[in-house]
């Protein structure tokens, strides 16, 4: 069952994220905004270059089918990640994605390692994880798969071999989950740094890549606790709960808040069944990334097949802090962030084949099993014009608990002004009627504008695009100034090559993925025609 299965490894350490913040303010996109105003409103990291990298991140423990592994040369090994952090829109800054990432896990003694490409992933569960206020108080997660995993077998270990076997069974894929928290946006030695814990485990072909398709604990209303996916591993007689993004801290990254005893309970109507106590201490968390295993009896496995799970704490009073939805209901979507493009037919589409539509799946379950006949509603939460984004009002899941959903766009015609491309939409996904208490997921969709065809573009057409990027991403001027025509000509072949790379590549240009294909096509045709208008 994704990274919660076995074999798996848990790691913890730090990461650095270096996003540019000039593009966080819509007014900075407008060429009419004076330079002085842009300079005064560049936020906390104007020279960011969108790197996302791990800092001193090490494997802390490993688990196989028999349980925790006492010793293995993967334990203590370094975990590295190199990717790019990208927001989809200035009006959606809490839905960052990691693009173009590469993850390597090396054995502690050197030699053997494995490397995979991190499939683009979203940050879906931002919540206030602890005290302190501001960005440091927030926590969230990324879940995805490592694709094209390759193993260097200079040296090996039992866990290394087990992961290699698991990856081969899934087409050279593994599942990965990151918990990110405690980000420092204030100047100082740890500026742009934060903490991370995570898990790498098996991927099962056909399962969703960005969530655990089983069961989930949600906030019970008494305290600020984050969601916790879990599943019942009947073969191993284990309850496996991921509390990696769930337990509040004081401050974030420090000691866990004192809740007394914490234990899961099976909510049998006649009398709840208590399960063994959980260790939620900070030291334990850094060792396990919050993935906890609880042994079950055969009777308890039967009880969980038709009764919900909850987590109870005893201080300062006994209460439930996490609980499943009624009847163990579960709903999620296979993708949540979308870029849709309209284009001028005279130009034709470039880039990803999704173009002006996207198709994804919604998954519904009950007590961990796929559930057919579930009515799922979709409703626009924000975004205009309404007609530029279409989707079904409802779908019903099939025998496999899934339903396919298509969203499509038409030209939004610059509702936010020509300087800020396209429109942004939020769409809620609901279990049953579209009321707030039923919302289980949401879609974030940016629809880019259609651009009039310019058969013979000149610098007059290209300059506004380059000027805007030079203003929004000032760190680029250390390499070259896109707004300065005099310095551009020798760099144009490299710019063209970067814009024609795979959209997922770590060195794709622009790294922010916020330039429509109409505009990219116009830039490339301008370069191919000799870049008229510049020296």
Query: Is the pLDDT confidence value at 425 over 50?
Result: yes
- Which positions ≥6 away from 521 have C-beta within 8 Å? 347, 348, 350
- What would the pLDDT profile of 104-114 be if each residue is shown by its tens digit? 999 998 789 99
DSSP codes joined into one string, 418-486 = TTS-SEEEEEEEEEBSS-GGGEEEEEEEEEEPP----SS--HHHHHHHHHHHHHH-GGGGGT--TT-GG
206 and 170 Cβ atoms separated by less than 8 Å: no
For 7, the token pair is 């074999």
For 297, the token pair is 């009896």
525 and 457 Cβ atoms separated by less than 8 Å: yes
**Residue 171: DSSP 8-state:** T
Model confidence band, residue 345 (pLDDT cutoffs 50, 70, 90):
low
Average pLDDT, the chain: 93
pLDDT at 57: 98
pLDDT at 167: 98
pLDDT at 111: 81
Where are the strands (E) in 112-173, listed by range? Answer: 113-118, 121-122, 127-128, 138-152
Model confidence band, residue 353 (pLDDT cutoffs 50, 70, 90):
very low
DSSP codes joined into one string, 354-407 = TTTEEEEEEEEEETTEE-TT-EEEEEEEE-S-GGGEE--SEEE--TTSEEEEEE
Dihedral, CA of residue 145, residue 208, residue 440 and residue 142, to nearest 10: 0
Rounded CA separation 303/66 (Å)? 23
- What would the pLDDT profile of 128-147 be if each residue is shown by its tens digit? 998 877 889 999 999 999 99
DSSP codes joined into one string, 39-51 = HHT-TT-TT---E
Percent of the chain topping pLDDT 90? 85
Query: Is the pLDDT confidence value at 508 over 90?
Result: yes
Place of tokens 């370094």: 78
pLDDT at 344: 60
Rounded CA separation 318/328 (Å)? 23
Rounded CA separation 511/503 (Å)? 9
Model confidence band, residue 343 (pLDDT cutoffs 50, 70, 90):
low
Rounded CA separation 137/438 (Å)? 27
Rounded CA separation 515/511 (Å)? 10
Query: At 435, phi and psi to the nearest 5?
Result: -120, 150
Residue ranges covered by each domain of the chain: 1-212, 214-324, 329-448, 459-528
In a 13 Å sphere around the CA of 341, the CA atoms on its Cβ side amount to 22
Place of tokens 């300059």: 463
Model confidence band, residue 9 (pLDDT cutoffs 50, 70, 90):
very high
- Which positions ≥6 away from 325 have C-beta within 8 Å? 216, 218, 308, 431
pLDDT at 517: 85
Q: What is the CATH number of domain 329-448?
A: 2.60.40.3450
Rounded CA separation 252/126 (Å)? 13
Mark residue 407 as left, alpha or beta (left: phi above 0; alpha: psi -120 to 50; beta: remaining). beta
Average pLDDT over residues 157-168: 96
pLDDT at 418: 87
Query: Is the pLDDT confidence value at 351 over 50?
Result: no
For the chain, counts of helices (H) and of strands (E): 7, 29
The end-to-end CA distance of the chain, in Å, is 59
For 100, the token pair is 């173009």
Q: Is the peptide bond before 147 cis (omega within 30 degrees of 0)?
A: no
pLDDT at 349: 46
pLDDT at 347: 52
Query: Is the pLDDT confidence value at 350 over 80?
Result: no
- What would the pLDDT profile of 482-502 be if each residue is shown by its tens digit? 878 888 899 999 999 999 999
Rounded CA separation 258/154 (Å)? 46
64 and 75 Cβ atoms separated by less than 8 Å: no
167 and 174 Cβ atoms separated by less than 8 Å: yes
Model confidence band, residue 346 (pLDDT cutoffs 50, 70, 90):
low
Average pLDDT over residues 41-54: 94
- Cα of 235 vs its chain's centroid, Å: 30
Average pLDDT over residues 76-98: 94
Helix (H) or strand (E) holding 16: strand 8-18
pLDDT at 355: 62
- What would the pLDDT profile of 256-286 be if each residue is shown by its tens digit? 999 999 999 999 999 999 999 999 999 999 9
- What would the pLDDT profile of 430-483 be if each residue is shown by its tens digit? 999 999 999 999 999 999 998 888 889 999 999 999 999 999 999 887 777 787
């Amino acid at each position: 069952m994704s990274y919660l299965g076995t074999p798996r490894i848990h790691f913890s350490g730090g990461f650095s994220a270096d996003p540019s913040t000039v593009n966080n303010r819509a007014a900075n996109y407008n060429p009419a905004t004076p330079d002085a105003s842009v300079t005064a409103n560049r936020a906390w990291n104007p020279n960011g270059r969108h790197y996302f990298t791990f800092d001193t991140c090490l494997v802390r423990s490993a688990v196989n089918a028999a349980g925790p592994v006492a010793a293995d040369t993967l334990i203590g090994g370094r975990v590295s990640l190199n990717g790019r952090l990208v927001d989809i829109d200035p009006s959606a800054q809490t839905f960052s994605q990691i693009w173009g990432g590469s993850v390597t896990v090396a054995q502690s003694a050197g030699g053997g390692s494995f490397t995979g490409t991190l499939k683009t992933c979203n940050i879906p569960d931002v919540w206030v994880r602890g005290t302190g206020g501001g960005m440091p108080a927030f926590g969230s997660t990324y879940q995805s798969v490592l694709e094209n995993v390759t193993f260097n077998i200079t040296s090996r270990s039992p866990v290394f071999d087990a992961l290699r076997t698991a990856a081969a069974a899934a087409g050279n894929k593994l599942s990965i989950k990151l918990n990110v928290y405690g980000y420092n946006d204030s100047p100082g030695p740890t500026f742009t740094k934060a903490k991370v814990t995570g898990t790498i485990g098996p991927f099962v072909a056909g399962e969703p890549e960005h969530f655990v398709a089983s069961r989930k604990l949600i906030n019970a209303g008494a305290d600020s606790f984050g969601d916790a996916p879990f599943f019942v591993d009947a073969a191993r007689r284990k309850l496996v709960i991921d509390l990696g993004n769930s337990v509040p801290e004081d401050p974030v990254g420090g000691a866990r808040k004192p809740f007394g005893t914490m234990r899961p309970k099976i909510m049998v109507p006649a009398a709840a069944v208590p399960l063994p106590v959980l260790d939620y201490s900070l030291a334990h968390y850094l060792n396990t990334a919050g993935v906890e295993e609880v042994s079950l009896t055969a009777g308890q496995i039967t009880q969980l097949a038709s009764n919900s799970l909850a987590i109870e704490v005893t201080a300062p009073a006994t209460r439930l802090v996490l609980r499943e939805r009624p009847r163990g209901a579960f709903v999620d979507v296979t993708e949540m962030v979308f870029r849709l493009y309209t284009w001028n037919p005279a130009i034709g589409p470039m880039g990803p084949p999704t173009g002006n539509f996207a198709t994804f799946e919604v998954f519904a379950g009950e007590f961990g099993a796929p559930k057919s006949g579930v009515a799922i509603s979709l409703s626009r939460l924000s975004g205009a014009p309404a007609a530029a984004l279409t989707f079904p009002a409802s779908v019903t899941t099939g025998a496999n608990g899934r339903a396919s959903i298509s969203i499509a766009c038409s030209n939004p015609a610059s509702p936010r002004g020509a300087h800020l491309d396209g429109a942004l939409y939020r769409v809620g996904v609901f279990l049953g009627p579209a009321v707030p208490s039923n919302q289980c997921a949401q879609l974030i969709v940016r629809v880019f504008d259609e651009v009039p065809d310019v058969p013979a573009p000149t610098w007059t057409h290209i300059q506004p695009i380059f000027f805007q990027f030079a203003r929004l991403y000032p760190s680029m001027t250390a390499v070259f100034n896109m707004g300065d025509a005099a310095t551009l000509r020798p760099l144009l072949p490299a710019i063209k090559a970067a814009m024609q790379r795979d959209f997922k590549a770590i060195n794709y240009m622009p790294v922010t993925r916020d330039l429509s294909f109409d505009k990219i096509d116009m830039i490339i045709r301008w370069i191919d025609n000799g870049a008229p208008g510049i020296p």
